[in-house]
Structure 1
């Protein structure tokens, strides 16, 4: 849906609303106001945000704090912030009454379609784990080839804030909250990458099945020209995409790893062991990046060596430094048990005290427990914390003594770090890889990671900047 369509709806008496006044909501407001200064708008916001909205002095703006089913149903179109689930009862009731819900991603895509309805020179990246690093690495390699490249989306810069300066390529990271918005725009991405699928964000989607369905809308409904998929993910391997050309990464005929060696088919390209990409999963995602670069019509093999100069992203397996013989690693972005297992794999030869737990979204930790039982992961200690800490603790407690793992429970992050240091006794790694969101205690994973850094004795201001956002 284009902005001009919203203007026509408003001219016919339809009500246009924004739901949410975070960064995405503010970006949508500025975009709509830049196009039409007098377009009547309603904003549904939190009570503590009302003063900020009134300070705008916008006479065409109505502010409401109760996004009830009736209030939403009175609107023709609601531009919803990504964090608000469309499966909330009030949203479902309004949709049944005829309200259309879209996101800022929908507006951005619709405004940038070419004559064939395609997001030309654009790569959309999603996946449960690794999408931010993959997006940033893709932008880094394109820029290393002297291509002006935009990097935006879920990684930290709303699409509607992306400058309109001329670019050669766009790299867009999308969460499962946004993939459906691309499909709703009616615009086809030139290239769409799906890395992997694990249970995640169940509180937003309502079920594992719906999470997978929503995530896959980027390729099943948006119908990209070229879909880049992980051959090792069973759910992706089972997909049928008749409207897209599918290119597989991790397949022996394409970009894949043999140990740490990177191959294109039978051609050896480079060793990846020393690349600044922590964990085999990130080095595997380099194969996704190179497959996407080829899908854009470029020489991926020529750009691959530039991965050596990539600067890793903060809060993602980020080594902060060593204090009194203990290395502190910040993996606050970890919000699934699978992410925690991947983090442990990176330090499988070290003594590790793992900090797990946070907001409880009902995600099953059985696979994590099975990995401990089978010896796939074997940390020195595990400290549970947060809302789902007791549930994780109860699940793995029968295994702890059997596996030689020191298991303890903490009341908060400070307490968890104290217990982790004691368990390591001056040698090893304190690894924050919670496998759960931060909500309820911290605003987001960034705030949690910054607190971890501060408690470990490091300056949080020096560890949080995401390099490469915007256009470069």
Structure 2
């Protein structure tokens, strides 16, 4: 939907987070004579009123009848379209769109690389932007990574390329209702996640793959090692040419290096983002820039200058003989397993647990039973459930298992277990909701409890246009 199509219609913005605020500001600037309703929490009404904009009308009573009174609702990504009140209003004719959909409709000719996947999408998107900039292209880095696309609606002059991270919430509706085609679509992997929002694993996967099905990319960069992606049919691919990574005839990892076919391109020891999975992310990024027509083999060396993102296996430093690593972005048990593999052979105490979405922790239990860390500290809503599962899986002589009430006590328990030597790893395998606003707030709390300067660790490098 184009912004011009909103003129003269009854429109609401639902959600008052960063994207909601940016969307409201954009619509008031583009359509100054048109009133706009903001649907927000009761505690946020005063914030909207404090702007002093007579054309902005906040209300907190949101139900199906209220939603149905609008022709268009621009909703924040975290609001599920499968909620009963949304489905009820949609049945009465209300059209729900996301701010990302507005951006794509306005930028049909942009040279875009869109990245999604359950894990690794932020790092891969940032790597793509880093490599494109190393090639000399003026590149925008935006999307789910921390800068809503709607904040870059009017960039002059426009960037040469856009590296865009999209969550499953955004791929669900970013391309519906308009003819925009993305240039390159990158899908990294598909594991069960956000099942409460999507209503089940099958719908989660379908919503992720809307990037291919409805985004209709010219090239789809796909992970050959992921069974869901390897089994895709032509209908889902939407006519895209497929560039596979993770297999020997393309970009892949072996012998501690990234290879392009038989050509060794980059030694992973030079990559500051640790772990074999980050080698896979680099393969995806190189495959994407290659699909754009660039010499990816020559650009591979530039990966050495890439700085790891906050809260993604981020080394915080050492205190009293103990190293601390913040992997707060980890929201699935598979991510926690990957984090442990990065530090195999080290005395590690891992902190796991958070919001309970009902995910299966059996693979994690099997992994730590076979390769036990020094200690596992559980916390959060699903902490007791994880603890009960691990209690029957791990050998107490080989792995200390501790329950903690909050982050401070969890860090203290991990320190006690390590006795002045080793690594404390926050890789929760669960969302931060109810205890924290988001994963970044959780990571900041972890850093503060470990005694580090939070402000110096939290900036995402490279956001915006450069």
- 2:158 pairs with 1:156: no
1:204-283 matched pairs, under 5 angstroms: 204-240=197-233, 241-283=237-279
Match of 1:358 among 354, 357, 380: 354
1:170 aligns with 2:167: no
Alignment-derived partner of residue 412 in structure 1 = 406
Q: Which residue of 1 aligns with 2:118?
A: 128
In the TM superposition, structure 1's runs of 4+ consecutive aligned residues that sit over 6 Å from their partners are none
49-58 or 327-336, which deviates more = 49-58
Q: Residue 110 of structure 1 is aligned with which of 105, 111, 134?
A: 105
The C-alpha deviation readout for 1:420-461, integer Å capped at 9, x for no partner, is: 111111111110000111111111111111111111111000
User: How many Å apart are 1:84 and its aligned residue?
Assistant: 0.9
2-structure distance, mates of 1:46, 1:242: 39
Q: CA deviation at 1:186?
A: 3.2
Give me the whole-angstrom Cα distance separating, in 1, the residues matched to 2:263 and 2:451. 46
Match of 1:204, SS state, is: helix
Could you say which residue in structure 1 is the equivalent of 2:195?
A: 202
Deviations 1:395-438 (A, max 9, x none): 11112226721111001111111111111111111100001111
3-state DSSP of counterpart to 1:401: coil
- Answering whether residue 64 of structure 2 is matched by residue 72 of structure 1, we say no
Question: CA contact under 8 A between 2:14 and 2:38: conserved in structure 1?
Answer: yes
Paired residue secondary structure (1:430): strand
Cα distance in 1 for partners of 2:428, 2:238 equals 39
- How many Å separate the matches in 1 of 2:271 and 2:119? 19
CA deviation profile, 1:131-178 (whole Å, cap 9, x unmatched): 111111111111111110000000000101125122111000011110
The Cα of 1:96 is off from its aligned counterpart by: 1.4
Contact 1:121 1:168 (C-alpha < 8 Å) held by counterparts: yes
- Structure 1 residue 41 displacement after superposition: 1.5
TM-score by length of 1: 0.95
Cα RMSD of the aligned pairs, angstroms, is 1.2
Equivalents in 1 of 2:397, 2:463: separation in Å?
43
Name the residue aligned to 2:6. 6
Aligned to 1:295: 291
Distance 2:307 2:314 in 1: 11
1-side partners of 2:136 and 2:402: how far apart? 51
Distance apart, 1:242 and its partner CA: 4.2
Tell me how far apart the structure 2 counterparts of residues 393 and 259 of structure 1 sit (CA, whole Å). Answer: 36
What's the offset of the Cα at 1:365?
0.9
Measured after TM superposition, the shift of residue 57 of structure 1 is: 2.8
Q: CA deviation at 1:274?
A: 2.7
CA–CA separation in structure 1 for the residues paired with 2:232 and 2:379: 38
Question: Could you tell me how far apart the structure 1 residues matched to 2:85 and 2:244 are?
Answer: 40
CA contact (8 A) 1:255 1:264 kept: yes
Pairing partner for 1:32 from 20, 27, 33: 27
Q: Does 1:187 align with 2:180?
A: yes
How many residue pairs get matched? 460
Counterpart of 1:389 in structure 2 is: 383
1:1-38 CA distance string (max 9 Å, x none): 0011111xx3xxx4211100111111111111221101
Asked if the contact 1:348/1:378 (under 8 Å) is kept, the reply is no
The question of whether the paired residues in 2 share the 8 Å contact of 1:17 and 1:75 is answered with yes
Structure 1 CA distance, aligned partners of 2:462 and 2:56?
A: 35
CA contact (8 A) 1:291 1:300 kept: yes
Structure 2 stretches lacking a partner, 5+ long: none
Q: Which runs of no fewer than 5 residues in structure 1 stay unpaired?
A: 115-119
* Alpha carbons 1:378, 1:403 under 8 Å: kept: no
Mapped partners of 1:281, 1:227: distance in 2: 20
* 1:64 Cα deviation after fit: 1.2
**Equivalent residue runs for 1:285-364 within 5 Å:** 285-364=281-360
Is this contact kept in 2: 1:226–1:244, CA < 8 A?
yes
Contact in 1 for aligned 2:273/2:313 (Cα 8 Å): no
Distance 1:252 1:359 in 2: 39
**Is 2:17 the counterpart of 1:22?**
yes
**SS at 2:122 equivalent:** helix
